[in-house]
């Protein structure tokens, strides 16, 4: 029997990744591997491509070249309904615009996220998560009636509801004061470690750089 076990495969791997919005400006990204459960900060000045990179990782944009492998799956090779299902199960997204559906209650936004990922709708899981994030009393409210901090917690609940191996957050703290920055960071890290997920945060907020295992610096 072979005593050496193979190195665990990384939860995220970027290889020779490039993207062109079609205006002649080619964005190129450094190669990177994030071991399962480790957290990574994507840093760089405004316009360097941080949000673009998160969209490429989530399969919301198709690379011009190179590839993105997430939980062992080439994301750039998936299309249509299989891409949507894969994303729903493997990626939790917390973007700057929170994209909660205004016509649905807080609880229904979370139930929809389960349904879209092909998971059974589980009200107990929804209630438990809202409880833990301190917004259970707003479960029947519409997103437009929440404070910004409450809406951000609901967006975080939606991102983690299917226990994805990767949580992507775009500038989660850039509009917050120091106290709220620490609190949002604590919530993201607590939810990630609860399910063993890797947290990937894009930001130009240098206040949070020391809270991460790995850093990926993008050049201007």
Whole-angstrom distance, CA of residue 31 vs CA of residue 9: 15
- Asked if residue 31 lies in contact with residue 65, where contact means CB atoms within 8 angstroms, the answer is no
Sign of the CA dihedral running 84, 49, 192, 107: negative
Which helix or strand (DSSP H or E) is residue 209 part of? none
* Count of residues touching ligand ATP (by CB under 6 A): 12
187 contact, one of ligand ATP, Mg ion, none, CB 5-8 Å limit per kind: none
State the residue for tokens 């983690």: 160
Whole-angstrom distance, CA of residue 200 vs CA of residue 11: 11
Q: How does DSSP classify residue 37? A: T
- By beta-carbon proximity to ligand ATP, the closer residue of 132 and 204 is 204
Cβ neighbours for 85, distance < 8 A, ≥ 6 positions apart: 116, 117, 118
* Count of residues touching Mg ion (by CB under 5 A): 2
Question: Judged by CB under 5 A, which of 13, 36, 38, 51 binds Mg ion?
Answer: 51
21 contact, one of ligand ATP, Mg ion, none, CB 5-8 Å limit per kind: ligand ATP
Strand 12-20 with 32-34, pairing: antiparallel
Helices (H), the chain: 50-57, 80-90, 106-116, 123-132, 148-160, 178-195
Pattern 190-209, binding to ligand ATP, x per CB under 6 A? Answer: --------------x-----
- By beta-carbon proximity to ligand ATP, the closer residue of 14 and 129 is 14
Stretch that binds Mg ion, among 4-12, 49-57, 130-138, 152-160 (CB under 5 A): 49-57
Pick out residues in 14-73 that bind ligand ATP (CB under 6 A): 21, 23, 27, 44, 46-52
Stretch that binds Mg ion, among 13-21, 45-53, 143-151, 193-201 (CB under 5 A): 45-53
Whole-angstrom distance, CA of residue 215 vs CA of residue 220: 16
CB of 60 to ligand ATP, least distance (A): 11
111 contact, one of ligand ATP, Mg ion, none, CB 5-8 Å limit per kind: none
| Residues recorded for the chain | 220
- By beta-carbon proximity to ligand ATP, the closer residue of 12 and 71 is 12
Contacting residues toward Mg ion, per CB under 5 A: 50-51
Catalog residues that contact ligand ATP under the rule CB under 6 A: 21, 23, 27, 44, 46-52, 204
């Amino acid at each position: 029997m072979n005593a050496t076990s193979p190195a665990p495969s990384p939860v995220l791997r970027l290889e020779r990744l490039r993207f062109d919005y079609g205006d002649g400006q080619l964005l190129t990204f450094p190669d990177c591997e994030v071991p399962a459960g480790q957290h990574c900060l994507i840093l760089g000045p405004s316009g360097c491509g941080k949000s673009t990179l998160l969209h490429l990782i989530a399969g919301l944009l198709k690379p011009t070249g190179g590839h993105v492998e997430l939980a062992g799956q080439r994301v750039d090779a998936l299309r249509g309904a299989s891409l949507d299902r894969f994303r729903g199960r493997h990626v939790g997204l917390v973007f700057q615009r929170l994209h909660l559906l205004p016509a649905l209650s807080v609880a229904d936004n979370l139930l929809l996220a389960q349904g879209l990922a092909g998971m059974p709708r589980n009200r107990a899981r929804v209630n438990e998560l809202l409880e833990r994030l301190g917004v259970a009393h707003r479960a029947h409210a519409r997103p437009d009636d929440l404070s910004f901090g409450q809406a951000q917690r609901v967006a975080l609940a939606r991102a983690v509801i299917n226990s994805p191996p990767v949580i992507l957050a775009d500038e989660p703290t850039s509009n917050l004061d120091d106290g709220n920055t620490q609190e949002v960071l604590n919530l993201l890290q607590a939810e990630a470690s609860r399910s063993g997920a890797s947290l990937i945060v894009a930001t130009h907020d240098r206040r949070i750089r020391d809270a991460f295992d790995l850093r990926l610096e993008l050049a201007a």
